[in-house]
Structure 1
Amino acid sequence: MERDALTELVNIGVSRAAASLRKMVGGEVLLSVPSVEVIGNRQAAALIQEREGGELVAVWQEFSGAFKGRALLIFPHANSLELVRAVVGAAVPAEEVTGLEDEALTETGNVILNSCLATMANMLQRPLAMSLPQVLRGRGEALLSVPGGAGDEGLVLFLYINFSVRDRSIRGYIAMVMDLPSLGALRLLVGDFIERVMRDEPDHDL
């Protein structure tokens, strides 16, 4: 029940992000229902590297409040360039696309991550503060390290999402890296959310 509730919270946020991205790229944007797993950060890194194998590009933002951690939007490098081309448009010469990559990725990541986290914060009735987005490149181990903590202690709220932008097939991942206390706090808030929803539902047996 907690996993289903969390998936629904993220799905609502991603749906709002798709509407914003649609305006950015001037065409249809589809994002699949996220698949949610809570696993060790090293296991998540291994999963990404197993699926992708090459260099990854990530937009990350720190968040803090009732729970804290790092949110990342992660792409294989080739997919990130496809997304940049969709964002900047066909009128931009190919040789200039690479120069605009970080700016376009930062803007895209900011839209998606803020939509997901702001929606979660609103529905969980707890405010979250977000840092400015930054772009990182590297392999999964570096991207999914726990902020300020030991690598063995981190759990990743790992969300796999398929992206479809116009006629391009662009896949990406959203991950939230948190320590054990923050993950525990999030679980309690999701439990409170479930109780509120159940309490507000009409009793069909009456």
Structure 2
Amino acid sequence: MNVTAEQLDALQELINIGVGRAASLLNEMVNSHIRLEIPFVKVLTAADAYEELAVRFHDDSLAAVRLGFTGPFYGTAGLIFPTDSASSLVAVLTGENPDSTDLDAVKIGTLSEIGNIVINGVMGSIGNVLRQHMSYTIPVYLEDKIENLLASANVSESKILLAQARFTIEQLELIGDIILIFELDTFDTLIQIINQEMGVS
């Protein structure tokens, strides 16, 4: 199914609602003011998503928080950062020295929490606005290259919703990506529900 400009706008609106909620929650948790914006949203095949992310992140190891979702549409949701950006984000939020040997343990816990808040914000807004019940697995933190992060899903049959996430915290600007992998034909189901519930076509 090809996505119209109006449907893409509706997807961006749903994700923006979710990251707005996530940013509010994150700001309550930490002393730093966090601004979280989504400059663009794209719907891609697995091959195109891999190509775009590979160009942006080169061959770097990435830090990711990932969870599965099920409901009328199902798949995997993830928040991905270059590992350097992830360390910088954690250092700012926790006050830990970026070179500290304790940072790795702190990083896993902190990023898991951030990922959980952002992904649940996004998936929660999709479920709430579209009036669909969604279930989630426990978030998992991992560091790997992009092909391995994408390979875990049945990506050849998947549609990937890629939303760039820009975190701005106290002069520090970090780019991450929110990736929603909809398995098999369930992305078409999402679009049909958007058409019904949001009156777009």
Structure-to-structure mapping, 1:81-160, within 5 angstroms: 81-90=87-96, 94-145=100-151, 147=153, 149=154, 151-160=155-164
Question: Which SS does the other structure have where 1:132 is aligned?
Answer: coil
Question: Which SS does the other structure have where 2:185 is aligned?
Answer: helix
Taking every aligned residue pair, what percent have the same amino acid on both sides?
Answer: 29
> Over the residues paired in the alignment, what is the CA RMSD in angstroms?
2.0
Preserved contact between residue 11 and residue 34 of structure 1 (Cα < 8 Å): no
Q: Quick one: which of 22, 30, 52 aligns to 2:27?
A: 22
Preserved contact between residue 163 and residue 177 of structure 2 (Cα < 8 Å): yes
Q: Which moved more, 1:178-187 or 1:106-115?
A: 178-187
Q: How many residue pairs are counted as aligned between the two chains? A: 195
Q: Is residue 2 of structure 1 aligned with residue 7 of structure 2? A: yes
Q: Residue 83 of structure 2 corresponds to which residue in structure 1? A: 77
Q: Tell me which amino acid in the other structure corresponds to 1:28.
A: H
Q: Deviations over 1:159-199 (max 9, x none)?
A: 1121112222211100001123110110111111222x8xx
Q: What TM-score, normalized by structure 1, do the two folds share?
A: 0.88
Preserved contact between residue 68 and residue 136 of structure 2 (Cα < 8 Å): yes
Q: Deviations over 1:77-129 (max 9, x none)?
A: 10000111122225898232122111111111001000110111000000100
Q: Which moved more, 1:164-173 or 1:66-75?
A: 164-173
Change (3 A) 1:27 1:188: same
Q: Deviations over 1:38-62 (max 9, x none)?
A: 1112221221121121111110010
- Aligned-partner Cα distance in 2 for 1:154–1:146: 12
The runs of 5 or more residues in structure 2 that have no matched partner are 1-5
Q: Residue 171 of structure 1 corresponds to which residue in structure 2? A: 175
Q: Tell me which amino acid in the other structure corresponds to 2:7.
A: E
Q: Tell me which amino acid in the other structure corresponds to 2:45.
A: G
Q: Is residue 184 of structure 1 aligned with residue 188 of structure 2? A: yes
Q: Tell me which amino acid in the other structure corresponds to 1:95.
A: T
Is the radius of gyration larger for structure 1 or structure 2?
A: 1
Report runs of 4+ in structure 1 exceeding 4 Å deviation. Answer: 90-93
Q: Residue 43 of structure 1 corresponds to which residue in structure 2? A: 48
Deviation at 1:146, TM superposition (A): 5.5
- Aligned-partner Cα distance in 1 for 2:166–2:86: 13
Question: Which SS does the other structure have where 1:142 is aligned?
Answer: helix
- Aligned-partner Cα distance in 1 for 2:183–2:130: 19
Preserved contact between residue 61 and residue 143 of structure 2 (Cα < 8 Å): yes
Q: What TM-score, normalized by structure 2, do the two folds share?
A: 0.90
- Aligned-partner Cα distance in 2 for 1:130–1:160: 22
